[in-house]
């Protein structure tokens, strides 16, 4: 498998090079030269396959000859070593719970897979690799956990001060060792802008070998396909494929789902469930993609004003707007609606949503109101314990901390406060060991 840049001005690379580089030299995102078609037998008899076998078959064509099969299977097994259940909430609505991993968020899948691939690829490299990543919430914790103490890799995480939840902040600021947290006095878009500038800085790249752990990296983006197949494996009404609603911020998650469907996974339609950051919602109404400053919301991991991965969705549909609109709808959900949805789901169905899941749930409900013969899945992307204020107030009950979180909350936060200016980041990266 070869990967090209979405800007079409960089050489083709294999999976190993795409993973190590993170972003193409022309600042585009790497995209697979072909989209593999999954063996029909896997789809038709999916219940007979283990999750490990399914995941291996999905990812193997993308990895190609960059890794032998035994090593790839080992990485797959370590990546998905926790439950990913499909839970019925109402007669027509199901929740795919992606929060049972070590950092209680869907990003555990991509971060664990990528960290193990990158660790394998740089094992004999004489130059230390710096993973530079911006986070609006869950990415930071997942990356910190996945790369913790990996030999030959330093991790630098930028996060917006005061705009991530207490649990999220502890997860990315307490590991220590090779994990370094930069607390930026701005928003996520500031963090992402600073990271992008670093990757374009030739002087800095002579000092450090930089790569990314955001979903722009193919090794973090592509394995997110796994749980869409796992959801279908648990879907009982195979004759009526699901509608899938995905809480969407940087659009890597839903892009992976759409890629899975292009490979043969039966999905009737996708919904991009957005909060007040409604860039794609407006695009589907106007055909104009206009970046804006991010708006702070309860569903903070989706507070993105310029979603990097949407270019890959356009690439999947060959930039043909009618084809895209036929497969994708979008709804923008307010904080007030999010709060009401958390309360309603708990009171009526005894199901506890986090704010991101609430956005996905309500967007799905709105779509199903117009398509009553369909049923659907929303992605519950984070454990409600990460958002105690919003969730406990609406459900009237306290959320018990999982054992892993109890330990983290006792640890001391260690971060470097920084102004939202690239010069400050460059100085840090140039002078730090």
Judge contact between 426 and 204, C-beta under 8 A: yes
CA distance 186 to 178: 24
Q: Kind and range of the H or E element at 211? A: strand 209-212
Tell me the CA end-to-end span of the chain in Å, nearest whole number: 36
Judge contact between 180 and 150, C-beta under 8 A: no
Judge contact between 145 and 167, C-beta under 8 A: no
Give the list of residues 6+ apart from residue 44 with CB closer than 8 angstroms, or none.
Answer: none
Other Cβ atoms within 10 Å of 253 Cβ, number: 27
Number of helices (H), then strands (E), in the chain: 20, 13
The residue annotated as part of the active site, out of 9, 27, 107, 375, is: 107
CA torsion sign for 190, 273, 245, 339 is positive
Tell me phi and psi for residue 239, to 5 degrees.
-75, -10
Query: Is there a catalytic annotation at residue 77?
Result: no
Residues forming the active site: 107
């Amino acid at each position: 498998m070869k990967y090209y840049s979405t800007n079409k001005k960089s050489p083709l690379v294999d999976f190993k090079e795409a993973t190590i580089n993170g972003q193409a030299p022309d600042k585009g995102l790497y995209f697979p030269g072909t989209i593999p078609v999954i063996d029909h037998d896997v789809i038709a008899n999916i219940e007979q396959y283990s999750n490990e076998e399914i995941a291996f078959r999905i990812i193997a064509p993308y990895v190609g000859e960059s890794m032998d099969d035994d090593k790839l299977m080992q990485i797959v097994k370590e990546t998905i070593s926790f439950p990913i259940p499909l839970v019925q909430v109402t007669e027509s609505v199901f929740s795919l719970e992606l929060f049972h991993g070590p950092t209680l968020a869907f990003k555990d899948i991509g971060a664990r897979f990528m960290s193990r691939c990158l660790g394998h690829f740089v094992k004999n490299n004489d130059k230390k690799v710096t993973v530079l990543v911006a986070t609006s919430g869950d990415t930071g914790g997942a990356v910190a956990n996945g790369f913790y103490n990996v030999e030959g890799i330093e991790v630098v995480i930028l996060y917006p001060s005061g705009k991530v939840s207490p649990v999220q902040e502890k997860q990315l600021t307490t590991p220590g060792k090779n994990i370094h947290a930069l607390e930026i006095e701005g928003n996520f878009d500031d963090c992402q802008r600073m990271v992008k500038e670093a990757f374009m800085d030739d002087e800095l790249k002579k000092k450090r070998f930089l790569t990314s752990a955001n979903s722009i990296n193919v090794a973090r983006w592509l394995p997110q396909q796994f749980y869409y197949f796992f959801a279908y494996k648990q879907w009982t009404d195979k004759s009526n494929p699901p509608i899938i609603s995905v809480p969407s911020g940087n659009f890597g998650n839903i892009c992976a789902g759409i890629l899975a469907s292009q490979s043969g996974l039966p999905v009737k339609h996708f919904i991009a469930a957005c909060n007040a950051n409604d860039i794609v919602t407006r695009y589907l109404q106007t055909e104009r993609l206009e970046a804006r400053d991010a708006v702070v919301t309860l569903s903070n991991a989706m507070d993105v004003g310029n979603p990097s991965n949407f270019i890959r969705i356009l690439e999947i549909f060959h930039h043909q707007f009618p084809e895209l609109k036929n497969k994708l709808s979008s709804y923008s959900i307010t904080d007030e609606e999010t709060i009401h949805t958390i309360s309603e789901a708990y009171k009526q169905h005894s199901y506890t949503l986090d704010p991101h899941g609430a956005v996905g749930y309500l967007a799905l409900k709105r779509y199903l109101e117009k398509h009553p013969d369909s049923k659907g899945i929303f992605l519950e992307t984070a454990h409600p314990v990460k958002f105690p204020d919003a969730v406990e107030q609406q459900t009237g009950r306290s959320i018990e901390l999982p054992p892993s979180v109890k330990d983290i909350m006792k640890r001391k936060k260690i971060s470097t406060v920084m102004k939202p200016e690239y010069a400050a980041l460059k100085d840090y990266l140039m002078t730090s060991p």
